[in-house]
Amino acid sequence: MSDIRSVHTHCPYCALQCGTRLTVERSGVAVSPSDFPTNRGGLCQKGWTAPALLETPERLRHPLVRGTDGELTPVSWGVALQTVATGLQRIAGESGPEATAVFGGGGLTNEKAYLLGKFARVALGTSQIDYNGRFCMSAAASAGTAAFGLDRGLPFPVTDLARAGTILLAGANPAETMPPLMQHLTRAELIVIDPRRTATAEAAALHLQPAPGTDLALALGLLHIAVTEGRYQADYVHERTTGFDTAWTRAVSWWPERAEHVTGVPVAAQRQAVRMLAESERSYVLTGRGAEQHSTGADTVGGFINLALALGLPGIEGSGYGCLTGQGNGQGGREHGQKADQLPGYRLITDPATREHVADVWGVLPGTLPGPGRSASELLAALGTEGGPRALLVFGSNPVLSAPDSAAIAERLADLDLLVVADFVPSETARMADVVLPVTQWAEEEGTLTNLEGRLLRRRRLLTPPKHARSDLHVLQGLATRLGQPAGRFPTSPREVFDELRRASAGGAADYSGISYERLDAGEALHWPCPAPTVPDTAESDTAGMVAHPGTPRLFLDGFAHPDGRARFQEVEHRGPAETTDTRFPLWATTGRLPAQYQTGAQTRRVPDLTEAAPEAFVQVHPDTAQRCGLDEGLFARISSARSSAVARVYLDSSLRTDTVFLPFHFPDGARANLLTQPARDPRSGMPEFKVSAVRLEAVPEVSA
């Protein structure tokens, strides 16, 4: 199995990236938690059971090509790669390079994400690349960049939260999505904003339960109270921000009674929330997917950032604003070229200086690099249409389940001339592919990831991968050389790729140039930006005689990243969801995650203990709503939107709003929650509106279990 007996590494799931030790034992691989700062010796159920995925009998072990009979058949790697290359060359010859698209993932290592972006723009020459992180963090990234000039999920270490007096969680449920984080929140009084009475809300001192899609109205109401009741920090606003007056022109009309009318949150609870934040010595405002996954997602996050700025929190040690990144490498995955509009270092692809710098590192001419492409939802919706991509390469994602209006997306995938999926399990998207490429998984590979606090982490190999599995880096090189690229332009060594990434990111907002495997392996805690040393010094220095940069665990203490050093208030106004309830679809459906499942469940549904804990899809309904719809506990309901229908077992929950139902999105086939969700997108970030869809419920007489 392996000649390595034990390694320190990190959990393969969420962006908390809990530290773990993996050990090879007679019975298989055992996991134990490390005393790493984010998890402090704790793990959630997913982390404890992660090694079971390494031995799943459904592991992809051979390349597969779909034959003339419609079946996927094992072939050699040479045949599989040549099949892909030939198909890509044919499509490019007929329709040009833009006819091929690439879709990546927020779980890929930094090295894979970087090389994937390079592959798309250099080997394929296409602008059509984006990734599933657009479904996760894009709204917060857009709002954070607008406000602060720089986006990093948490601009401070997770451990700072342990000293907080009050924390507002807007649309975040860490008690179920990242349980080890909760140990950092035990000292604080929690204010939770969520339409559901989640496990996090149960632990809160104050739960604000707005109607789905009204989070921004609530944020405007809270800002109104902070200003009119004299709780905003006038000196901070004057000295460290701009744009307050413009933002206030929007919030001034959101008196608390109006906010209550729109959101359903009582005025007294609004005032209590502001009082708790303002009177606490250390306060934080944190947003999550519940606030972000809307067609107004960036504005909604901007509204909560405005509240934090008015209270004088960002850029102050012991207080601040942050976003709880979801995917394991959701932070690093968007920094180095997977996003349609970015190049490595978190820089815009339209910037001439950036293009020149990156092109020089890549050994190509700046003019050969394509411009910005479509965002994720736009890209998927364009597949197979006239003028849209005819081929799609998917790495580390499962859009058949993760994309909104997923029935339509499945149709788009089916219309492609060529669908290629690189994965280690047969996801729902892989089952549709023309070519499936079996790749290595977390304990079989080296690399780096960047967690939610911007800290670089080392993933270390414990196991030798199955005989016919290859790393994504080898796959990209194999395809690139068949497309006419020199092999050296696409290295297969993670360390070599990372060293190139460092050079490409140098000078960018997310500057990794001062970080190395050697420093990470020595145990240094390095948060970006961490530029390469430039100033000689006779004191402590690295081997080149330069002082090594210590990294930046806390951003904005000396100023924000805009040229004038000031944060920007954003002019935002509440708009309702892209669709409304009516007599045909009288309820709101919202989606989310379960403690025992992760993302689309492609991995966790293959772990027996997790499947036992969360075996099937369900729809959570208030008892009064269930009675009106003729539903019974434990039986099945059909949940229908204007797009499609899903069928799930009914769970009754009296803490839910009577106008709202909840579905987890981890489950496949006819239980897909994203059959219901709408493709409406936030114009600023491209974020789809996952969190609110108009639906109706109907009893289903009989369903096979």
Compute how many other C-beta atoms are within 10 angstroms of the C-beta atom of residue 591.
22
Q: What is the DSSP string of 312-362?
A: T-TTSTT-EEEE---STTTTGGGTTT-STTEETTTEETT-HHHHHHHHHHH
> How does residue 705 score in pLDDT terms, banded at 50, 70 and 90?
very low
Inter-residue contact 412 to 390 (CB < 8 Å): no
State pTM to two decimals: 0.96
Kindly report the backbone phi and psi dihedral angles of residue 55, in degrees, each rounded to the nearest multiple of 5, phi listed first: -115, 20
The candidate with the shortest Cα–Cα distance to 131, out of 405, 325, 398, 355, is: 398
Domain ranges in the chain with CATH number 3.40.228.10: 138-324
Q: Can you give the three-state secondary structure of 64-85, one letter per residue? A: EEECCCCCEEECCHHHHHHHHH
CATH no., domain 587-700: 2.40.40.20
3-class DSSP state of 273:
helix
Predicted confidence at residue 3, as pLDDT, reads 61
Kindly report, residue by residue over 295-318, the tens digit of the pLDDT: 999 999 999 999 999 999 999 999
Domain ranges in the chain with CATH number 3.40.50.740: 64-131+329-439+471-505
Extended strands (E) in 210-308: 241-242, 283-287
- Does residue 501 surpass a pLDDT of 60? yes
Share of residues in the chain with pLDDT > 70 (%): 98
Kindly report, residue by residue over 406-436, the tens digit of the pLDDT: 999 999 999 999 999 999 999 999 999 999 9
Q: What is the mean pLDDT of residues 319-347?
A: 94
How far, in Å, CA of 660 to CA of 245, rounded?
36
Fold of 64-131+329-439+471-505: Rossmann fold (3.40.50)
Q: What is the mean pLDDT of residues 485-498?
A: 98
Extended strands (E) in 460-515: none
Predicted confidence at residue 539, as pLDDT, reads 47
Domain ranges in the chain with CATH number 2.20.25.90: 6-55
Mean pLDDT of the residues in the chain: 96
* Token pair for 178: 């990242």
**What pairing do the DSSP bridges indicate for beta strands 587-592 and 618-621?**
unpaired
Residue partners of 188: CB distance under 8 A and separation at least 6:
161, 164, 165, 166, 167, 284
Predicted confidence at residue 703, as pLDDT, reads 62
CATH no., domain 138-324: 3.40.228.10
How far, in Å, CA of 554 to CA of 443, rounded?
31
Kindly report, residue by residue over 621-676, the tens digit of the pLDDT: 999 999 999 999 999 999 999 999 999 999 999 999 999 999 999 999 999 999 99
> How does residue 4 score in pLDDT terms, banded at 50, 70 and 90?
confident
Domain ranges in the chain with CATH number 2.40.40.20: 587-700
Fold of 6-55: N-terminal domain of TfIIb (2.20.25)
Kindly report, residue by residue over 438-469, the tens digit of the pLDDT: 999 999 999 999 999 999 999 999 999 999 99
| Residue where the block lists tokens 């604000």 | 208
